Amino acid sequence: MGRHGLAHAYGHVSARLNAESFLVSPAQPLGTVGLDEPGVQVPLDGDLPPGALPEVRIHREIYRRRPSVGGICRVQSPAVMALSALGETPRALHGLGTYFAPAPPLWPGVALVRDDAQAVAVAEMMGDAAAIVLSGNGAVIAGETLEEAASLAFFLEDAAKIELALLPARAAGRTPREYTADEVAKRAVRAGALFERMWQFLCFGDPEWQA
C-alpha cells in the first residue's frame, strides 16, 4: 500500500484471525513495518488493546457485521481523495470500476473516525459495499481476504483516476459511458487468478515477497 502510493503515514491494514479477533498493522507508516514486527491483535468484543489506533474501530465494526470479510485496507489514495472533494466517488466507467458499482458510498463527515458511534455509522453506511470513501480522507476497502482488499484498493484508485481524467470532457458537455448492470455482472469477475495476479504485482519487490 505504501510503495504504490495508496497509503501514506496514516494507512493501516488488517486480516481476520478467527471469529473473535483480527490482526491489524502497528501504529506506524506501513512502509516502515519490518518483517519481524508483530501486529496488534484486536478482539471483536471489548476495548481496543494497547497499540491499536483509534480508527481501528472501523475495522472492528465491519468485521462484526460481515462474517465473509477477511481483510480490510484503510488508505489515503490521492485520486480518491480528490474526487471526494467534488462530492463524488468512482463509478463503473472501466473494468476495474465495476467492482464498486454503481459507486461506493461517500461518508460526509470530515473528522477522523475515532469513537465507537462514528465507527458504527460508517460501517452501517458501507453496508455490503466493497468500499466506502471518507470525504477528503481516503477510503476503507473490504475483501474476503487481505489480498482481495489490497487489490480492490488499487482498483478504487484507478477508477478515481479515470473520473478525474474525464473532468475536462464533462466540462465540455460530454457524458461518460457507465457500464450497465448486466455489463457489471459480466466484468466484475474473480476467476482467472484476477486478484492473485494483482497481489503479485503489488507485492513484487517487497521484503516479504522475497522472504
Chain segment 13-47, per-residue pLDDT in tens: 999 999 999 999 999 999 888 888 889 999 999 89
Phi/psi of residue 173, nearest 5 degrees: 95, 5
Would strands 131-134 and 106-107 be described as parallel, antiparallel, or unpaired? parallel
Query: What mean pLDDT do residues 137-156 have?
Result: 97
Query: What mean pLDDT do residues 158-175 have?
Result: 97
Q: Which of 7-16, 108-117, 172-181, 200-209 has the lowest mean pLDDT?
A: 200-209
C-alpha distances (whole Å) from 130 to each of 22, 94, 111, 178 are: 18, 16, 22, 18
The pLDDT score that the predictor gives to residue 197 is: 95
The pLDDT score that the predictor gives to residue 11 is: 93
Q: Domains in the chain, please, with CATH?
A: 12-210 (3.40.225.10)
What the block records as the C-alpha cell of 110 is: 470530515
pLDDT level of residue 124 (50, 70, 90 thresholds): very high
Strand ranges of the sheet holding 139-143, from the earlier edge strand across to the other edge = 40-43, 21-24, 12-16, 71-75, 139-143, 131-134, 106-107
55 pLDDT above the threshold of 70: yes
Percent of the chain surpassing pLDDT 70: 99
211 pLDDT above the threshold of 80: no
Cα dihedral 159→164→166→171 (10° resolution): 150
The pLDDT score that the predictor gives to residue 153 is: 98
Q: Which residues contact 200 (CB under 8 A, 6 or more apart)?
A: none
The pLDDT score that the predictor gives to residue 43 is: 97
The pLDDT score that the predictor gives to residue 145 is: 97
The pLDDT score that the predictor gives to residue 210 is: 62
User: Which pLDDT tens digit goes with each residue over 195-206?
Assistant: 999 999 999 888
